[in-house]
Amino acid sequence: MITILLVRHADIDLPPVSADPPLNEAGRRRAEALAHLLGAAGVSTVFTSAFRRTRETVEPLKMASREMPSAATVAHEARAGRYGAVVLIAGHSNTVPEVIAALGAPPPAIGETDFDNLFVVTTADDAEPGLLRLKYGISLS
């Protein structure tokens, strides 16, 4: 079984102050909460986008991350086990649903202020993928 954990980047100021905004204080706290939550999960590979906010979201995990390829590629390679048994992807409100759909699960809607979702997709060779939607950190909305 392969487990893919997906989060949208942690909190930023809205409207964004730049095209590549940093996490705000709430976002930094949420990133720490994510690291605490996943610290013993056995994450083998971490993907982010090219944007600062996704990298800052996974930084507290103290693991090397790499830029995510296309949704189709990461889904195919993850399902084949090429990234290990537990994969973490930090993306955006548009890319997280794309990857979930590419994994074969129903894509969720993620609102502009939704920073606290943790999606868990489980895949096995001969079974439909499972999707679990969790919340992490303190919700400010």
pLDDT tens for each residue of 59-115: 999 999 999 999 999 999 999 999 999 999 999 999 999 999 999 999 999 999 999
The pLDDT of residue 141: 54
In a domain, 87, yes or no: no
In a domain, 129, yes or no: yes
In a domain, 88, yes or no: no
- pTM for the whole structure: 0.95
- Number of domains forming the structure of the chain: 1
> What range does the domain containing 40 cover?
2-82+95-135
Round to the nearest angstrom and report the end-to-end CA distance of the chain: 34
* 54 phi, psi to nearest 5 deg: -75, -40
In a domain, 89, yes or no: no
The pLDDT of residue 129: 95
In a domain, 141, yes or no: no
The pLDDT of residue 77: 96
The CATH number of the domain holding residue 130 is: 3.40.50.1240
